Structures are given as C-alpha cells and as structure tokens.
C-alpha cells in the first residue's frame, strides 16, 4: 500500500461520452499527422500521443449500466453514509450531491473555543468509534467515545417514490460522569450542504428552533428535513434545548469545520425552566442569509442545538414523491416508529450474519462473533462515493528518459469504493479494494459489482488504473502533495481479480452478466499489466517505479508493489525480476483464461490459455526465481547485503555500502515475497518446493510468530530496520492481515488436497488461524479498534486506527471462508 501520506461538471451520458472519445481520438491523430507534415519531431509527436492516452478514458463499453448510480436505477443505494472521513454524515451518489452531516462540541470542557468534532482524525483523542451494525444498504448503528461522552448515531432508510426514498437519524448522547452535577453541556450541529443551484428554504419557529428545511433539486425533487425536539433517551419525555442557526453560502467542504469554528464567537445562555443557566458559545443565532457567494456556489444551513446530557435528537429526511406515493400514510419515521424499525433491522442483521458466516455454529465465542459483526459493519460503513479529477503523470516510455512533462488532469470520474481507514486513508486504494470486496461480496454481491464496475471505469486508453484515487476537494485536502500525482507507468497488484475469481465459483446469474460486461475492461487492464511490467527475460516481470538509490535510503522502496519498504535488490536496475509480480500476473492469466472460457470468448481464451500455462509451469518459475543457495524462491537483481545506515553529521543517517559489492544474484530477503507461489496457490500439491516453503513459514526464527506470520523473517538483517532517519519499518516484521489471509487460504487449500504435505498444511492452518484470530480479538478488547498491522513481538496494534479495510478479513478467517 502506498501509504505516505475545481471545477466540476456532471457525468455525461454514454452517447455523449462516446462522441467525446471519438472526437478526441480524431484530434490526437490529426495532431500527430500535422506535426509530421510540418517536419516536427516524431519523438515529440509520440510523446504528445502518450500524454494524451494517459488522460483519456478507455473506449470499451462500461461494466455498469448507464446511470447505474441514479435514483431511477438504484434507488436503495442513492443515499448512504458515503462520507467515510466524517464521524457521521450522508450524501447522494451524485457528482453534485446533497450532503448532510453532524458536528458536536462539549461546551466549557476546555478554555476558549470548544473542541469541534467533525472529521475523523488520527490524533484527535476520539475513540474508540465505529459501526456496531451496518448492512451496507439501509441501516446502521455507530458508537463514538469522546472523553466522558458516549455518542450513538443510528440511521434507517425507507423506500418509496422516484428519488431514492427517505431516511431518519437518531443521535443519542450520554455521559460517563458519576454525578449529575457534572453532566456536560453539549452542542450538536446538524447541517445540510448543496453544491450548486439547489434551493434550500428554512422555516424557523420560536427561540430559533428550525421547524424544517424544504428544498428541491433535479435529482431529489421536492424534499423536507425536520429536526425534532430533543427527548430523554429511550422515551418521549421532552428535554429543553437552546437553538442557534447559520445560513450561508457553501464555503467549500474542506473549509467547513474551520468556518463553523470561526463563527462560534458569541456567548449565549442555556436556561432550562427551573434550573440554573449555563453559558455556551453559539452560532450567530438568527436566520440571516450571510456571505452570499457567486451563483452556483451552493448553500450551507446549520442548526445548533445545545442541552445537558443525556438526550436523543432525531433528524428526518422526507421525499415529496415518497410521501405522495404512500409513505405519508405510514407516518413520520420518528419516535416509536423509528425505534421499531431499528429493532427490526438489528434482528434481521444478526440473523443474516449468522446464516452467512456461521460463526456461532463454528464455535466462536459471543465476543468473537461481535468482533466479526464489527469487522463487516465498519467495512460497509466505510464505503464512500467520490467524484472528481485526479492528477496523472504520463508514461513517456523508457525509464530515466530526460523528457519532462507536467502532470495532467484525468477526466472527471465517479468512484464507489471502500476505504482502508476513515481517519488516515479515507480514499480509494486499488490493491486494498480487492481484499475489501472479498468480504463485501459474501454479504452483498451487488455492492461488489458496483465497486468493481466503478474501479474499471477509471481505466485509461492504455488499460492503466491509478493505484490511489484522490477525487474531489475533500479527498485532495487530506493528501500530502507528493501523493496527489499518479504515475501512468506504475502498476499495483491486481487484487480486483480475487473477488472476480470468487464470482466464477458461484452460480449467481447477476455475477455472470456483470462479468460479461466487464470482461473487455478486465482483459485490457490485465494486458497492460502483463506488457508494461515485463522483465528483462521472457515471462519475468519487474515493478516499475522503484525509488532511486538515494544516499539516505537503506533500501529503495517499491511502492507500486504494495509492500512499500519490503527489501528488494539493494541497487535498483532493469535487470531485476520480481517474484511477487510474476505470481500476480500468473494469477491474472489463470482467472482471465477461466473467465474467457466461461463467457465463450474464444479469441481471448486462445491468447490467455498458453500464457497461463507457461506462467504456472513450475520449471519456468524455478528457472527464474528458485535460489539453490537460499533454498527458497526469491527476487533477482543487483544486490548486496552489505548495506547499512550510519550516522554522518550533519547529513544524519546515510547509507553505507560495504563488501562484498553488489552483483547480480538472488535477493536474500526471506518474508512475504518468498511465499507468493504458495500464497496464490500456484504450486502443485506434490511440488518439491512446497515443503521448504511450509518449513520456512512454520519456523519461529523466520516467519512464524504467536500473533501471525511476520512480513520479514526475524533472521533477516533488514528485520525491524528503519529505511531512513525519518522512515520507520513498515513491511519489515509486522503482521499484516491481508497476507495472513492469503496464507491461511493456501494452507486450507493444500490441506484438502492429497499430497505429501497435506497433514502439515492442515496443522499449520489450525494453529495460524488461532493465533491470528486470538490476537486481533485481544487487541480489539483492549483498544476497541481494528489496526493496520500488529507487532510480531507482543501482538499490539500498530499503524493507523481504525483500519477497517483488509483487517476486516479476520471475519473470513473466523468463518474459514477462503
């Protein structure tokens, strides 16, 4: 995982998009011909053509039907918690969405302006937090601990009408304070934001209380928001609240939090009848249209409600078309009706969860079952909908080319995707998403088809997909500048093919229909990977995009591999052969060949079949990657182990290369890369290479730990070593759930096939599964979070949290579903 750290327009119709592509293609050809006719450099023309292709969408038909995100085609998916970077909010799946969200602040807890909570931040002191239940479609319940405050946010959607239905929220705030005199005063801020010409009309009652907000958009028709009076939790007893309002132009979503903070500059009195008064900082307090911006800038409307905990507040969205078609007769989804709906959805979730994953039947404890529910719910609750333009640096051909080009804007595109972490990585990552969808598709295959279809919609004319997707102003504001630009020469592991392979195993006709539409794009993506990352000899492969050998780096990183700082050849060169990449390409050829056969794509099958057979032939794998000296599979390149970081004032730590000097050889870096022929099940159960890999896996001096398989052998000189003065170890010993899941799947696979290693594989699977599940469960009990990685020394969670991305694979590990 590469972890470091405008103008918008609507998505054109498919016919218009095809016209645009055809016109752009004709223009590109015309420019090349004209440049040659004028005697301009053919090299310049080729460079221009490559740059144009890098930011041109692929011409294959889309994998998803036209308008697949619209309320007409997918009404139950139109609204959702598609803003994973905020603690609680909802939006529509639209290029110009209607957004809603929640902020809160504890008044008087600290001197000055109270801490305003809104976006999930790694170091803001909030936590644990996460979804207890979330079904990915229509209901969720989340708990958030903020110091002594305990917030519960719940939502339920109700179908009806032609505009995506209706929904209701309930926000409950309690305190862990022991005395009633210490009960805090809390402000909740409910807001609605539009992104263009939409109309919002608030109507205010007594004391600044917002009766409702009516509005109209082309996608939602007529609608109304209602903030109901607060009550005591669990009953209808009213509670006294103080109200403040702000109605303004949209300042831009990245600036929303700071804008509200800046407006909390006036003191007000909270005076419940028969009780003492308290001061609090509030918004301006009147319904005055402030700072009217340019036409089309959008509107922001915030209702602040302030009161003593404990309390509950409900916020209801009603659709005009749904009300007209019968929902009005059902009554407002609030109060007891909302409670009944939440209870019904909770019971249905629990029943469906056990039917799907059978954790209780497998003997998992109630706590482990709850962990599984949280793993699924946090992953589903982290799905986001993004829209915008990424920055792409074109592939200009040979590496090291002196020809310099500037990054260019990719066309505006939507993305419906899970995210690795709401606090640290709230955006789409290509190789993470394949692992995410392994979990999602067991629960809701339709969501997986939507996500894969959107990712394949990012394909450029060459068949490339950028490995990090930074789409929209909110996403861009949270990404360091050096990670904004995606390089069109760099690949990423093709993990989207993992859920595709699973689709081939079931008989769901909807999956086959999707794969039939998606095949041209899947084939184009795989073909680009196979061709662009080709190595120095036939059927070898090399990750493009390794860092250059800077004097401050112990071992130049290979970010495109996803394994970042995992040790590779000490001196990067074009002679390298990367074992993991060859295995990924072999998996891709196998899956695409099977899919082509199933779809009757004879021409593609004739191309892919021989490639798959060649890549899976063990003699070829041996020839390129088996090291007799090391007794395992390995990378090959210009390498020496005699490198280390040493202090050299005033530069700090610098790399020193000793003797022996680098030479072409197999790279001694025992770890996850070593295991890839096993992980992706490329070896025959009778292979003489299977035993040595199982032995290395099981050896506590190498990869085995009480908490899972470590990423780099404890015996490696790179184990636990930082890569630079400011770059601590990442894939150099820590336990990662995605690779442990692949290892468990492989052990389960070989444990069910006759062969000399069947018993050993079965035993290792049982022991490794117990270690991984036991440690993730203990860390969850201790911290309330799933973590990015786990220490191989004491099991503690490390990296960012919550990390509900591929760590959610613990659910499939518990279910033994590989």
Kindly list the catalytic residues.
564, 788
Length of the chain: 818
Residues 6+ apart with CB under 8 A from 471: 386, 387, 388, 389, 390, 413, 414, 415, 427, 428
Q: What's the gap between Cα 279 and its chain centre?
A: 41
Contact 20, 12 (CB under 8 A): yes
What Cα–Cα distance (Å) separates residue 561 from each residue in 270, 347, 787? 57, 42, 21
C-alpha 666/C-alpha 577 separation (Å) is 9
Instruction: Give the residue from 428, 390, 386, 388 showing the smallest Cα distance to 409.
Output: 390
Q: Is the peptide bond before 128 cis (omega within 30 degrees of 0)?
A: yes
CA R_g for the chain: 28
Query: Which secondary-structure segment (H or E) carries 446?
Result: helix 445-456
Tokens of 151: 């917030």
Contact 494, 584 (CB under 8 A): yes
Tokens of 112: 């000055």
C-alpha 602/C-alpha 593 separation (Å) is 10
C-alpha 348/C-alpha 344 separation (Å) is 6
Q: Which is it for strands 643-648 and 428-429: parallel, antiparallel or unpaired?
A: unpaired
In 3-state terms the chain splits into helix, strand, coil percentages (rounded to 5) of 35, 25, 40
C-alpha 220/C-alpha 215 separation (Å) is 9
C-alpha 684/C-alpha 754 separation (Å) is 10
C-alpha 81/C-alpha 594 separation (Å) is 36
C-alpha 90/C-alpha 83 separation (Å) is 6
Query: Hey, how many other C-beta atoms are within 10 angstroms of the C-beta on 725?
Result: 13
C-alpha 228/C-alpha 29 separation (Å) is 61
- DSSP per-residue codes, 148-209: TEEEEEEEEEE--TTTT-EEEEEEEEEE--SSGGGPPEEEEEEEEE--SS-EEEEEE-GGG-
**Taking the C-alpha atoms of 518, 519, 522 and 528 in order, what is their torsion angle to the nearest 10 degrees?**
-140
SS3 string, 371-388, reads HHHHHHHHHHHCCEEEEE
**Taking the C-alpha atoms of 762, 766, 767 and 770 in order, what is their torsion angle to the nearest 10 degrees?**
160
What Cα–Cα distance (Å) separates residue 812 from each residue in 339, 393, 456, 698, 795? 31, 38, 25, 22, 20
Contact 186, 307 (CB under 8 A): yes
Instruction: Give the residue from 516, 529, 595 showing the smallest Cα distance to 61.
Output: 516
Q: At what angle do helices 690-698 and 758-783 cross, to 10 degrees?
A: 30
139: helix, strand or coil: strand
Contact 2, 467 (CB under 8 A): yes
Contact 634, 568 (CB under 8 A): no
Contact 796, 118 (CB under 8 A): no
693: helix, strand or coil: helix
Q: At what angle do helices 602-616 and 509-532 cross, to 10 degrees?
A: 60
């Amino acid at each position: 995982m590469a972890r470091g750290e405008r103008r918008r327009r609507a998505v054109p119709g498919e016919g218009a998009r095809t016209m645009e592509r055809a016109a752009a293609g004709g223009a590109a050809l015309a420019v090349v011909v004209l440049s040659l006719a004028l005697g301009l450099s053919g090299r310049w023309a080729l460079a221009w053509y490559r740059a144009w292709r890098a930011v041109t969408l692929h011409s294959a038909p889309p994998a998803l039907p036209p308008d697949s995100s619209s309320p007409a085609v997918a009404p139950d998916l139109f609204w959702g918690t598609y803003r994973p970077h905020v603690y609680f909010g909802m939006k529509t799946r639209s290029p110009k969405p209607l957004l809603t969200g929640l902020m809160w602040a504890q008044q008087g807890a600290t001197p000055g302006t109270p801490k305003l909570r809104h976006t999930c931040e790694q170091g803001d002191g909030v936590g644990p937090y996460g979804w207890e239940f979330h079904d990915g479609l229509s209901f969720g319940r989340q708990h958030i601990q903020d110091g002594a405050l305990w917030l519960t946010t719940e939502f339920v959607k109700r179908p009806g009408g032609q505009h995506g239905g209706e929904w209701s929220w309930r926000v409950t705030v309690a305190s862990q304070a022991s005395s009633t005199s210490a009960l805090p005063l809390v402000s909740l801020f409910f807001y609605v934001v539009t992104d263009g010409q939409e109309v919002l009309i608030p109507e205010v009652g007594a004391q600044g209380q917002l009766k409702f907000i009516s509005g109209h958009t082309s996608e939602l028709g007529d609608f109304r928001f209602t903030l109901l009076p607060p009550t005591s939790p669990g009953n209808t007893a009213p509670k006294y609240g103080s109200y403040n309002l702000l109605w303004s132009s949209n300042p831009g979503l990245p600036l929303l939090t700071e804008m509200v903070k800046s407006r909390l500059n006036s003191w007000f009195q909270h005076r419940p009848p028969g009780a003492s008064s308290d001061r609090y900082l509030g918004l301006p307090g009147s319904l005055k249209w402030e700072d009217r911006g340019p036409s089309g800038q959008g509107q922001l409307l915030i209702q602040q409600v302030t009161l003593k905990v404990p309390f509950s507040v409900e916020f209801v969205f009603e659709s005009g078309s749904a009300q007209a078609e019968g929902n009005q007769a059902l009554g407002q989804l609030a109060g007891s009706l909302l409670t009944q709906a939440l209870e019904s959805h909770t019971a249905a979730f629990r029943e469906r969860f056990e039917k799907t994953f059978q954790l209780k039947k497998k003997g998992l404890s109630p706590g482990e079952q709850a962990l599984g529910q949280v793993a699924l719910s946090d992953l589903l609750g982290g799905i986001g909908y993004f829209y915008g333009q990424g920055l792409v640096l074109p592939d200009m051909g040979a590496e090291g080319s002196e020809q310099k080009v500037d990054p260019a804007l990719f066309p505006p595109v939507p993305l419906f995707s899970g995210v690795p972490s709401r606090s640290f990585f709230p955006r789409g990552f290509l190789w993470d998403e394949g692992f995410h969808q392994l979990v999602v598709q067991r629960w809701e295959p339709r969501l997986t088809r939507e996500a894969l279809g959107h990712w394949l919609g990012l394909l450029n004319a060459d068949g490339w997909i950028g490995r990090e997707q930074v789409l929209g102003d909110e996403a861009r504001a949270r990404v360091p500048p050096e990670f904004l630009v995606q390089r069109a020469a760099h690949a990423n592991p093709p993990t989207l093919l993992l859920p595709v392979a699973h689709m081939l195993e079931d008989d769901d006709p909807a999956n086959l229909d999707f794969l039939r539409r998606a095949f041209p794009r899947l084939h184009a993506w795989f073909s680009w990977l196979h061709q662009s990352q080709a190595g120095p000899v036939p059927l070898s492969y090399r990750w493009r995009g390794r860092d250059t050998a800077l004097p401050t780096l112990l071992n130049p990183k290979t970010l495109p591999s996803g394994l970042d700082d995992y040790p590779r050849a000490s001196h990067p060169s074009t002679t390298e052969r990367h074992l993991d990449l060859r295995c990924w390409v072999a998996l891709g050829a196998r899956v695409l060949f099977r899919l082509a056969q199933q779809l009757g794509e004879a021409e593609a099958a004739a191309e892919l079949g021989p490639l798959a057979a060649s890549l899976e032939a063990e003699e070829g794998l041996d020839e390129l990657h088996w090291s007799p000296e090391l007794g395992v599979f390995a990378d090959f390149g210009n390498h020496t182990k005699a490198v280390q970081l040493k202090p050299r004032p005033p530069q700090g730590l610098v790399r020193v290369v000793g003797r022996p000097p680098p030479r072409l050889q197999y790279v001694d870096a025992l770890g996850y890369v070593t295991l890839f022929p096993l992980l992706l099940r490329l070896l025959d159960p009778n292979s003489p290479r299977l035993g040595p890999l199982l032995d290395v896996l099981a050896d506590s001096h190498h990869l085995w730990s009480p908490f899972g398989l470590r990423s780099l052998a404890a015996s490696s000189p790179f184990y636990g070593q930082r890569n630079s003065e400011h770059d601590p170890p990442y894939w150099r010993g820590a336990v990662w759930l995605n690779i442990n899941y692949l290892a468990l799947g492989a052990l389960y696979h070989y444990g069910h096939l006759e062969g000399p290693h069947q018993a050993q594989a079965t035993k290792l699977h049982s022991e490794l599964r117990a270690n991984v599940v036991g440690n993730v469960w203990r860390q969850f009990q201790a911290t309330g979070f799933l973590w990015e990685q786990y220490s191989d020394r004491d099991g503690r969670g490390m990296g960012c949290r919550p990390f509900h991305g591929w760590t959610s694979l613990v659910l499939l590990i518990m279910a033994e579903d590989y």
